[in-house]
Amino acid sequence: MARIVRFHEFGGPDVLRIEDMDIPSPGPGQVQIRVKAFGINRAEALLRSGTYIETAPLPSGLGLEAAGIIEAVGEGVDGFAPGDAVSIIPPISMVRSPAYGELVTFPAGSIVRHPPTIPWEEAAALWMAYLTAYGALIDIARLSRGEFVAITAASSSVGLAAIQIANVIGAIPIAITRTSSKRRALQEAGAAHVIASQEEDLETRLKEIAGEAGVRVVLDAVAGPIFDPLTAAMPLGGMLIEYGGLSSQPTPFPLPAVLGKCLLLRGYLVHEIIRDPARLQAAKVFIFDGLASGMLKPVISRTFPFEQIVEAHWFLESNEQFGKIVVTV
C-alpha cells in the first residue's frame, strides 16, 4: 500500500484526496520509484479543474515530475537498479503516469539518474521548467549571444529557467511581470531588465530597451491583450513562442505587426522535445552542463509536506510564488 493523490471530481484544490492504494510491481520496461519530492505545475491545476489539453477519466491521479529512489525495476530494464537516485522526465500523459504519490511507476525511458549533489527538492523542480525553456529558446528559436528575449510570467519556474538559460548563452533576458513587487527578485535571478506590465507601457519600454535591434524572441505564457505590445516591439522575422494561456481575456491576432514584419507566432508544448530522443538528449546535455557550472539552479518558492497537498495547490492558485512549488514526501 502507498498513499496517492487523486481527485474524483473536477474543481478547485479541495477536490484533491490522499488515498491508500495497492501499487502493482513494475512491468516490463518500467521503473518503480519511492518518491522523495515532487513538483507542482500549472498543468496539474488545469487537469484538476477539467480545463487541460488532456481530460482525466475520474477518479484520476496527476503530476508531471518527481524525484526519489528506485524501489524496483521491471523485466528488460538496463542501466538502473534499486537504490539509484533518479528524477522523472515529464510524461506525455499524466493521467497514464501520475507523479503525485509515495510510490510511482514510469517507463524506464522517462527516468534520469541525477547527480548526487542535487537535493531532492531541486531534482523534483528540474525537468519541466528547464526542458520547456530550453526547447523554446535553444531548440526552436535558436536564441544567440547578444539577442534580446522577452519572457512573460517571468517569476514562474519556466520564466526563471528561461532567464538562466538566456544568461548561459549570453543573450539578454527581459523579464515581464505584472507589478514591481518582484522586480528586485527578478534582477537578482539574472534578468537584465524588468518591466512591470501593469505599471509601465510595455511596448514603449521594450522599444527603449532593445532599440533598433528589437526583441526577436518572445517566450509567452499569458496570451490575451499582451500580444499587441509584444508583437509591436518585435523586428522583422521575429518569433513569438506561446506555451501557456494564463489570461482569461480574448487573444487578438495582431495582423498589422504579423504581416508588416513577417512574424512567426508559434504554439509550443514541451512534448515536442520529450517525444524526440535526439532533441531530448541534446536538452539533457545542455541542462546537466548548466547544473555542473552552477549557471542553472532551480529556484524553489516554497515546500509543503505531502499531507498539505491541498494547501500547495491553493498557494499555486494565489500566483504569489517565485519559482517552483515542491511537495516533500
Residues 128-144: tens digit of each pLDDT: 999 999 999 999 999 99
* 103 and 227 share one domain: no
Helix and strand tally (H, E) in the chain? 11, 16
Asked whether residue 281 is domain-assigned, the answer is: no
**pLDDT for residue 38 is more than 90:** yes
Q: What's the number of domains the chain is made of?
A: 2
Asked whether residue 293 is domain-assigned, the answer is: no
Give pLDDT, residue 115: 82
Q: Where are the alpha helices (DSSP H) in 157-220?
A: 157-169, 183-188, 202-210
* 189 and 100 share one domain: no
Determine the Cα–Cα distance for residues 113 and 125; give it in Å rounded to an integer: 14
Run of H or E residues at 82: none
Give pLDDT, residue 117: 84
Q: Which domain holds residue 197?
A: 129-271
pTM: 0.95
Residue 302 sits in a domain whose CATH number is 3.90.180.10
Asked whether residue 292 is domain-assigned, the answer is: no
The answer to whether residues 324 and 299 touch, using CB atoms and an 8 Å cutoff, is yes
Determine the Cα–Cα distance for residues 321 and 329; give it in Å rounded to an integer: 20
Determine the Cα–Cα distance for residues 323 and 114; give it in Å rounded to an integer: 20
Determine the Cα–Cα distance for residues 163 and 179; give it in Å rounded to an integer: 18
- Which residue from 40, 53, 126, 128 is spatially nearest to 93, judged by alpha carbons? 53
Give pLDDT, residue 44: 96
Asked whether residue 285 is domain-assigned, the answer is: no
* 54 and 99 share one domain: yes
Segment 181-239, tens digit of pLDDT: 999 999 999 999 999 999 999 999 999 999 999 999 999 999 999 999 999 999 999 99
Run of H or E residues at 5: strand 2-7
* 141 and 263 share one domain: yes
* 119 and 133 share one domain: no
* 70 and 56 share one domain: yes
The C-alpha cell of 12 is what? Answer: 478547485
* 307 and 235 share one domain: no
**pLDDT for residue 21 is more than 90:** yes
Asked whether residue 84 is domain-assigned, the answer is: yes
* 115 and 19 share one domain: yes
Segment 82-109, tens digit of pLDDT: 999 999 999 999 999 999 999 999 999 9
Angle between helices 127-134 and 157-169 (to 10 degrees): 50
- Which residue from 86, 103, 96 is spatially nearest to 26, judged by alpha carbons? 103
* 120 and 178 share one domain: no
